[in-house]
């Protein structure tokens, strides 16, 4: 009997050890800034599309809006017939690139202009990888390595890293000159999901009701680690808030937002 118990205990410990090992091998999803993918000059279109797919389901944050309900258009087959009907005289490749970098230029009927400018969080190479992935949804990949500007030619600073205080010339973050909290909420795309007065979208909790109800420390943590807590009543949409605001905002900008939301208006 004792032997059997011991054997079972050993099996349990062994199994736990294996799973812990495996868990440690899986990269942590939380706190992930889009990884700096080194995309070489000899990358093939198929490799680009594969990198794009990883970004699409992962660090790009696209699935926060696309593929779920009706907030954003379904992208299945986007490069087949859809692309051709969107903008007269604009090729599919150019249209997809524009959708990711200047989403405001053409807003599809029936949708709100909430799609973020992806240059804020992704490098040029990563954006082209996403275009390749999207072209692969029903069309032919015509993106090649030649479309990707050489490293350093603007925008290619996806992994500027560090929390706050980035803001150098190559930072993908929000212009450090902006310090007005309401302007910051607009520039950081917060209003794509939160309401402030007449502005914004009521996907997450309203900013109007936050003042006086939430401590500054809680608000700061909610912005830097959106998955640390889930606002009551918003369980269904937990996980949609992007996790990279800490890298886009300078420390001063973050504090300006926190003070404002905590009720110091």
The site for ligand HEC (CB under 6 A) is made up of: 56, 60-62, 64-66, 71-73, 75, 78, 82, 86, 96, 99-100, 103, 107-108, 111-116, 118, 130, 134, 188-190, 192-194, 203-205, 210, 214, 219, 222-223, 226, 230-231, 234, 237-238, 240-242, 245, 257, 261
Instruction: Please tell me the distance from the alpha carbon of residue 231 to that of residue 244, in angstroms, as a whole number.
Output: 19
Residue 168 CB, nearest approach to ligand HEC (Å): 20
The first and second tokens of residue 21, run together, are 């090992």
| Residue 155 CB neighbour total at 10 angstroms | 19
Residue 64 CB, nearest approach to ligand HEC (Å): 5
Instruction: Please tell me the distance from the alpha carbon of residue 174 to that of residue 160, in angstroms, as a whole number.
Output: 13
Residue 234 CB, nearest approach to ligand HEC (Å): 4
Longest dimension (CA), the chain: 80
In the block, residue with structure tokens 């943590």? 221
In the block, residue with structure tokens 């279109």? 45
Nearer to ligand HEC, 8 or 215 (CB): 215
In the block, residue with structure tokens 């205080």? 165
Instruction: Please tell me the distance from the alpha carbon of residue 129 to that of residue 145, in angstroms, as a whole number.
Output: 10
Nearer to ligand HEC, 43 or 128 (CB): 128
Residue 72 CB, nearest approach to ligand HEC (Å): 4
The first and second tokens of residue 203, run together, are 């996907």
In the block, residue with structure tokens 């929000």? 174
Q: Which of 85, 119, 84 is nearest to 104 (CA)?
A: 119
- Check residue 38 and give left, alpha or beta (phi > 0: left; psi -120 to 50: alpha): beta
Nearer to ligand HEC, 114 or 145 (CB): 114
CA 206 vs. chain centroid, Å, equals 21
Instruction: Please tell me the distance from the alpha carbon of residue 96 to that of residue 105, in angstroms, as a whole number.
Output: 12
Instruction: Please tell me the distance from the alpha carbon of residue 155 to that of residue 73, in angstroms, as a whole number.
Output: 26
Nearer to ligand HEC, 100 or 148 (CB): 100
Residue 222 CB, nearest approach to ligand HEC (Å): 4
Residue 171 CB, nearest approach to ligand HEC (Å): 16
Residue 154 CB, nearest approach to ligand HEC (Å): 18
């Amino acid at each position: 009997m004792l032997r059997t118990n011991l054997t079972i205990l050993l099996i349990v410990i062994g199994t736990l050890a294996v799973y812990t090992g495996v868990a440690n091998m899986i990269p942590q999803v939380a706190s992930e800034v889009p990884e700096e993918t080194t995309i070489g000059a000899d990358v093939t279109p198929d490799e680009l599309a594969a990198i794009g797919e990883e970004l699409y389901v992962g660090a790009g944050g696209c699935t926060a809006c696309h593929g779920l309900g009706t907030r954003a258009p379904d992208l299945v087959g986007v490069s087949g017939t859809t692309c051709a009907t969107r903008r007269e005289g604009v090729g599919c490749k150019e249209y997809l690139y524009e959708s990711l970098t200047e989403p405001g230029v053409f807003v599809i009927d029936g949708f709100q202009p909430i799609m973020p400018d992806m240059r804020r969080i992704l490098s040029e190479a990563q954006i082209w990888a996403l275009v390749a992935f999207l072209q692969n949804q029903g069309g032919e990949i015509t993106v090649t390595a030649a479309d990707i500007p050489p490293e350093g030619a603007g925008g290619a600073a996806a992994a500027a890293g560090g929390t706050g205080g980035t803001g150098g010339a190559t930072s993908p973050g929000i212009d450090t000159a902006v310090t007005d909290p309401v302007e910051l909420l607009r520039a950081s795309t917060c209003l794509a999901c939160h309401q402030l007065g007449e502005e914004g979208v009521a996907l997450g909790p309203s900013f109007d009701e936050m003042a006086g109800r939430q401590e500054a420390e809680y608000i700061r943590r909610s912005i830097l680690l959106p998955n640390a807590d889930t606002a009551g009543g918003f369980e269904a949409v937990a996980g949609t808030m992007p996790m990279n605001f800490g890298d886009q905002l300078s420390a001063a900008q973050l504090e300006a937002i926190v003070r404002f939301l905590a009720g110091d208006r």
